[in-house]
Amino acid sequence: MTQKRTAIDIEKDIRELVAEILETEPEQIRGDAKFVKDLGMDSMMALEVLASIEKKYRIIIPEDKLAQFVDLNTTVAIVRAIMDQ
């Protein structure tokens, strides 16, 4: 039986993934902070975040969605939409 993940669980998980990759504390990641502009994420870090999300949730993120992963709030919304399909 698969456990349904809530929006809060998903946000917490992704916040922790991003913080780990950026080597910062999860509390430092605001929902609307831009990954590149505000948090200094580079393209390799972004790919690592996406790969970690795909692995953790066993989903495939369509290529046309990749450019939309700009902040935590948007990332959580996209992941939830993919998981709800």
Q: Is residue 47 part of a domain?
A: yes
Q: Is residue 1 part of a domain?
A: no
> b or e along 43-75 (b: 16 or more beta carbons within 10 Å of the residue's beta carbon)?
eebbebbbebbeeebeeebeeeeeeebbbbebb
CATH number at residue 31: 1.10.1200.10
Q: Is residue 44 part of a domain?
A: yes
Distance separating alpha carbons of residues 63 and 60, to the nearest angstrom:
9
Region 62-84: what's the mean pLDDT?
Answer: 94
The model carries a pTM of: 0.88
State residue 55's pLDDT score: 97
Per the structure, the complete domain to which residue 60 belongs is given by 7-83
State residue 7's pLDDT score: 79
Q: Is residue 50 part of a domain?
A: yes
